[in-house]
Amino acid sequence: MTSDPTPVRPVEVDRTSPVPLYYQVATRLQELIESGEIGVGDRIENEVDLADRLGVSRPTTRRAIQYLVERGMLVRKRGVGTQVVHPKVRRPVELSSLYDDLIAGDQGPRTAVLSLAVVPADATVAAALNLVPGAEVTWIERLRYAGDEPLALMHNAIPLDVRDFKREELEVRGLYELLRRAGRVPRMATQVIGARNATLAEARMLGEKRGASLLTMTRTAWDDRGRALEYGSHLYRAARYSFELNLSAG
Amino acid sequence: MTSDPTPVRPVEVDRTSPVPLYYQVATRLQELIESGEIGVGDRIENEVDLADRLGVSRPTTRRAIQYLVERGMLVRKRGVGTQVVHPKVRRPVELSSLYDDLIAGDQGPRTAVLSLAVVPADATVAAALNLVPGAEVTWIERLRYAGDEPLALMHNAIPLDVRDFKREELEVRGLYELLRRAGRVPRMATQVIGARNATLAEARMLGEKRGASLLTMTRTAWDDRGRALEYGSHLYRAARYSFELNLSAG
DNA sequence: CACAAGACTTTGTCAGGACAAAGTATTGAC
DNA sequence: GTCAATACTTTGTCCTGACAAAGTCTTGTG
């Protein structure tokens, strides 16, 4: 016995608002699902009826539903209907979460800039940023703290044309924010997560014992036009840090 | 001086094909970009003209372009046009790549099933799979090899109602394939990647020294209807394995 | 020459309609 | 009763048409 689809109750769209209709509908649906009014496993009203009742066209309704399907909240099946599969938005791994270490620099955890200099790129950096070997880059070394304890040792290389960095700004605002202010917004990134044992020097900086397990993460980020923006090579204390990913398959 | 948009040359859509038109167009565009006929930074023809020339409607063309935008190959700007930002498809982290360790079991690397038994779920497993503590699950322990060398030690817990597993099948087909055959397709997953030093027992199984750095990955996967499908807790030799992710921000 | 107003280009949103395809439920024949 | 054919529901694809909004380029004014 299949349960009847839950009708979406009082919903009105605001046609004077600059917010697109499909987005208004999607947001409303999302609220209903997150609040539990439409539970996991429930079917929602079919597109045609929903569109009618909201007073919008079917394409608009479809687009709203599609938006939530892509976010992993809903699943559609032809001939069957649209079902809630998850009450929370499961983002398909966002750059924002990827950059949380940088964003977070704006708020809580303290970040110390250990060094900031213009140096010639070594082979690895040059390859990652698609530069000619020996081209100059801004090289940043930072130590991130969580409370009093060191958490991560972060190295970044940024092409010279991206921006001129100042130490104080970097400590206060964080790398990500500075890039954004320069109008260079990351659009794409590849990252590799691995692990290895700490060297003596690394262990000392991070307050670990030699040989302690460290998480390694290297990342290259590109902007809108495919220009390399940033190369990062970071070390995290494995005992105090892990990466969390939410994935969805369409 | 902006360069003229590259016209997409001989393209025809096949209306007798069961492949959707928008997908045909997207595939054709993708080929042109991957082959380099349309280079990074080039603008492609505008939607309206493209649609005209292909003999399809603008919404269909838009959908094709949208598809490639979501994959990170193209970027659109209102009033400007659509530009190529990356010549290869950068998938936003797929479940398929997430499951490569399982899929790969079908082909190259050998996987030995160390144990396969029905046991009561411990607290961690029960919580991850959303079961009552003590409920029975199929518990699988496997050792993955790359060539002659051990690569990973994998533990999985699968709710009993999902499927009845046989050792031989598991060795030959891999877990993922067996789940798929049971009609339980993973749609969503959360995973946590961390690291720690190997215990003596783990080191022995993996052919490492005690204290060697290991990558840890725990994952819970859900199917279509939000039912927990699989919990996995895996250990990888950090010296021989790393996770690669491609991310895009919309 | 500098700068603002306007024209133009291009993508973004939205409507309404039509038919196809994939499930589900019902009906009918044996 | 069982099973296959049929009807029905629901999403998937595709079309035409229209206007809005955000850039870019041109033009004209001071």
Alpha carbons A150 and A111: distance in angstroms, whole number: 9
Average pLDDT, chain A: 82
Rounded CA-CA distance B30/B24 in Å is: 10
Alpha helices by DSSP H, listed for B44-122, are 47-54, 58-70, 95-98, 100-103
Residue nearest the C1' of C21 (CA based): A78
Q: How far is CA B178 from CA A196, B101, B106, B123, B187, in A?
A: 33, 14, 10, 26, 15
Which tokens is A189 given? 């990134």
- Tens of pLDDT, residue by residue over A220-244, are 888 766 778 899 999 999 988 888 7
Radius of gyration of chain B, Cα coordinates, nearest whole angstrom: 23
Residue in A closest to B241 by C-alpha: A194
Beta carbons of B241 and A189 less than 8 Å apart? no
Pick the CATH number of B21-84 from 1.10.10.10, 1.10.1740.10, 3.40.50.10490, 1.10.1040.10: 1.10.10.10
Q: Tell me the C-alpha distance between A243 and A98, whole Å.
A: 9
End-to-end CA distance of chain B: 27
| Domain A95-240 coded CATH 3.30.1490.20 | no
CB-CB neighbors (< 8 A) of B98 in chain A: 247
Q: Are B242 and B163 a contacting pair, CB within 8 Å?
A: no
Q: Write the DSSP symbol of residue A3.
A: P
Say whether the CB atom of A82 is under 7 angstroms from strand D: yes
> Cβ of A247 and B191 within 8 Å?
yes
Please write the tens of the pLDDT for every residue from B25-80: 999 999 998 888 888 888 899 999 999 999 999 999 999 999 998 887 888 888 88
Predicted confidence at residue B108, as pLDDT, reads 54
Tens place of pLDDT for every residue, chain B, 250 residues? 444 555 555 467 888 888 999 999 999 999 998 888 888 888 899 999 999 999 999 999 999 999 998 887 888 888 889 988 777 655 544 444 344 444 344 345 678 899 999 999 999 999 898 888 889 999 999 998 877 788 899 999 998 876 677 888 777 777 777 777 776 777 778 888 899 999 999 999 999 999 999 999 998 888 766 778 889 999 999 988 888 777 765 4
- List beta partners, residue B75: B83
Domain ranges of chain A: 21-84, 95-240
Which chain B residue has the Cα nearest residue A87? B226
What is the C-alpha to C-alpha distance for residues B74 and B32, in angstroms, rounded to an integer? 12
Cβ distance of A225 and B193 shorter than 8 Å: no
Cβ distance of B249 and A96 shorter than 8 Å: yes
Residue B190 has its nearest CB partner, among A197, A222, A244, at: A244
Alpha-carbon dihedral B93, B94, B97, B99, rounded to 10 degrees: 130
Q: What is the pLDDT of residues B190-208, one digit of tens each?
A: 888 899 999 999 999 999 9
The Cα A222–Cα B86 span in angstroms is: 9
Cβ neighbors of B188 (< 8 A, separation 6 or more) are A72, A85, A86, A90, A246, A247, A248, A249, B95, B221, B222, B226
End-to-end CA distance of chain A: 27
